[in-house]
Amino acid sequence: AQKVTQAQTEISVVEKEDVTLDCVYETRDTTYYLFWYKQPPSGELVFLIRRNSFDEQNEISGRYSWNFQKSTSSFNFTITASQVVDSAVYFCALKRGSNYKLTFGKGTLLTVNP
């Protein structure tokens, strides 16, 4: 079975602080895909990043960065110099290479206060 754990239910920070959202996954597959999605208060789901299991290179996109470590089965997401507009629920998700299902974590509610 596959599983995604986002242990942080809620995080509250002050604007300009750095914040890391944790994601730990479980799968027996050697080929799999990891995703992060953002759900702002308006409710839509916005794709942020996809990472394949065979590509452990970390990625930076502006203030966002992702740290993929297969050794610890983690795919953590860091926001540098957080802003109020970053306030949202963030979901980590896993798709095994051997089937078509996408499993989401329960999400982390990030609140950035001015």
Partner 1 sequence: EAQVTQNPRYLITVTGKKLTVTCSQNMNHEYMSWYRQDPGLGLRQIYYSMNVEVTDKGDVPEGYKVSRKEKRNFPLILESPSPNQTSLYFCASSIWGGIDYNEQFFGPGTRLTVL
7 binding partner 1? (CB under 8 A): no
Taking alpha carbons only, the member of 22, 19, 18 closest to residue 9 is 22
Looking at residues 16 to 45 of the shown chain, list those that interact with partner 1 (rule: CB under 8 A).
Answer: 31, 33, 35, 37, 43-45
114 binding partner 1? (CB under 8 A): no
Nearer to partner 1, 1 or 114 (CB): 1
**C-alpha–C-alpha distance, residues 71 and 83, integer Å:** 31
Q: Which residues pair with 60 in a beta bridge?
A: 65
Phi, psi of 71 (to 5 degrees): -60, -30
**C-alpha–C-alpha distance, residues 67 and 88, integer Å:** 20
Nearer to partner 1, 31 or 58 (CB): 31
SS percent in the chain: helix, strand, coil, step 5: 5, 55, 40
3 binding partner 1? (CB under 8 A): no
64 binding partner 1? (CB under 8 A): no
Interface residues with partner 1 (CB under 8 A) are: 6, 31, 33, 35, 37, 43-45, 47, 50, 91, 93, 95, 97, 100-107
